[in-house]
Amino acid sequence: MSKPFLPFAMPDIGDDEIAEVVDTLRSGWVTTGPKAKRFEADFAAFLGDASLHCIAVNSATAGLHLALEALGIGPGDEVITTTHTFTATAEVVRYLGADVKLVDIDPATLNIDPRLIEAAVTPKTKAIIPVHYGGLAADMPAILALAQRRGLAVVEDAAHALPTTSGGRLVGTLASDAAVFSFYANKTITTGEGGMLVTRDAALAKRAQVMRLHGMSRDAFDRFTAQVPSWYYEIVAPGFKYNLTDIAAAIGLQQLKKAHAFAQRRTQIAQRFNAAFARLPVLTAPEPPAGELHAWHLYPLRLRDDAPVGRDALIERLFARGIGCSVHYIPLHQQPYWRERYGLTAAMFPHSQRVYERQLSLPIYTRMSDADVERVIDAVRGALGGGA
């Protein structure tokens, strides 16, 4: 390999983030403290809605768990989500003793199909978790209308969706009960590990704030400031350990300032890919409706039936050319736990299954140079017999 390997993903961390972290370390506040609070406030300001409660947590998984717990999801309940997602979306339902109903995707958008949600609703159904796959908004008008009609809660898995819009509004400001963002290392902004639960529901927010730190009536920051008596707290519920540290929040404070610029760069890369692959035997990534923002967390490329190689062989050829790639996702109906618990088969999810068999994710991140983008294009063309 004559050129360095181009990884599938890489965080874009600069001097601003490093300086903010150093300032945090020097301050003495390394766990949840003033910078976590600032990050929450800045996140609400980024979304542009003063009525929002933003609750910083140590992962999006934690945020989804807290949201469902606050909504009272428990044994005997069912929650509907898509099979075409990472296991975290569904596993939080099982944490609470409830059951998951998985449905297929719309092959045009790769997002959950609202018509299949409707068909899956039973008297036990209490909530829907739509996933904004790859940064493209799910059909939220249809999902929210269905939820209102059937009396269901909606918790958006927005792990990929910063900044994404639906109906001209940023995900996080829609009429759902909650939206949960991820700041994992490969997401559109990062804190290393972390997430944000966003809601307008004051009662949900209060419950999540208590439960994210052991069920304490006061969090660590409040207890160790100058309030009197600063030592006193009460345990009001058996909570969790889901708080975000100030070290992580410090990174997030600077990353958030760059979120729109990051999104613009990923959009440029996606547009270049779509143009470059238009004549190849592939389906390029679904684009957003006119006027909407796509966060472009992922760039999924699907092979058509007339492609000269299969998905696995294409991945091997790209790796041989020094290009990292991945698959999003091995759907839940293919995973032993979910398959065996609910008796799932591939035939039950034909669209997700076909996407899984034919699709891979290409690198799309802000540290890629124009030359890196062209390397990916040349490698894909060469691997599919289209030149280079």
Let me know the angle formed at the C-alpha of 112 by 93 and 102, rounded to the nearest 5 degrees: 40
Q: Is residue 82 within a helix (H) or strand (E), and if so which, with residue range?
A: strand 78-82
Q: Are strands 153-157 and 178-182 parallel, antiparallel or unpaired?
A: parallel
The pair of structure tokens assigned to 240 is 């969790």
Q: Are 259 and 162 in contact (CB under 8 A)?
A: yes
Of 116, 163, 151, 157, whose CA–CA distance to 138 is shortest?
A: 157
Distance between CA atoms of 159 and 13, rounded to whole angstroms? 19
Question: Using omega within 30 degrees of 0 as the cis cutoff, is the peptide bond preceding 289 cis?
Answer: no
**Partners of residue 192 on adjacent β-strands:** 184
Distance between CA atoms of 47 and 363, rounded to whole angstroms? 27
Which position among 37, 187, 206, 258 bears the catalytic label?
187
Please report where in the chains the tokens 């692959």 appear, as a residue: 277
Q: Are 24 and 252 in contact (CB under 8 A)?
A: no
Let me know the angle formed at the C-alpha of 92 by 330 and 73, rounded to the nearest 5 degrees: 135
Alpha-helical regions (H) of 241-369: 246-257, 259-276, 311-320, 336-342, 350-358
Distance of CA 107 to CAs 157, 243, 301, 344, 355, Å?
19, 37, 13, 19, 8
**Partners of residue 180 on adjacent β-strands:** 157, 197
Q: How many CA atoms lie within 13 A of 11 on its CB side?
A: 18
Please report where in the chains the tokens 């208590």 appear, as a residue: 210
Is residue 187 annotated as a catalytic residue, yes or no?
Answer: yes
Q: Are 112 and 130 in contact (CB under 8 A)?
A: yes
Q: Is residue 196 within a helix (H) or strand (E), and if so which, with residue range?
A: strand 195-199
Distance between CA atoms of 321 and 1, rounded to whole angstroms? 7
Residues in CB range of 312: below 8 A, 6 or more apart: none
Q: Are 242 and 62 in contact (CB under 8 A)?
A: yes
Q: Which residues are catalytic?
A: 187
